[in-house]
Amino acid sequence: MVLIKVNKFGYMNVGDVTLASKKSKAKAFIKFYSGVKWALFKNNFYEEAIKGEFPNEHYLNKSSVPIYRAYKDGKKICSLFSRETEAGFKFIVSIQNKTNKKTMKKYVQYYYISSGFDKNYNIIMPTQITRNTKANHGW
């Protein structure tokens, strides 16, 4: 049994982030408490893209360059982006487009990784993935 906790900022833990083995091509895995599992792959061109000029033919700005890509059963689910607040708080955000199957309305689900990575956003230790409980809005 997993105890779901809501932190003081209104985010609840929805899964665990674990490191991949050295034999795996994936950098990490996200296992949601619902049983869904994603594999995270590092964008090999991230450092090169960040050093370039913006806008360019691929990206409008630095924040649109994905640091990881998430896959489930061999299909790309979403991209994960590095973010830093004005106060210097760093986090990784997953932006996933979804559709309500009953109403067919589209919405965006945000998932956050706020710890367990180094200054270059390399995941270096197991941590949790969270999402906002109050509203489904961005950072």
The residue extents of the domains of the chain are: 11-132
Can you name the residues that pair with 18 across neighbouring β-strands? Answer: 29
Of 97, 3, 80, which Cα lies nearest the Cα of 42? 80
Residue 103, both tokens: 């109403």
For the segment 103-107, the average pLDDT, to the nearest whole number, is 91
Token output for 61: 């700005």
For the segment 37-77, what is each residue's pLDDT rounded down to a tens digit?
Answer: 999 999 999 989 888 888 888 888 888 999 999 999 999 99
% of residues, the chain, pLDDT over 90: 60
Residue 130: which pLDDT band, with cuts at 50, 70 and 90? Answer: very high
134 falls in which pLDDT band (50, 70, 90)? low
pLDDT at 138: 46
Question: DSSP secondary-structure letter at 8?
Answer: T
Say yes or no to pLDDT of 98 above 70.
yes
Give pLDDT, residue 107.
87
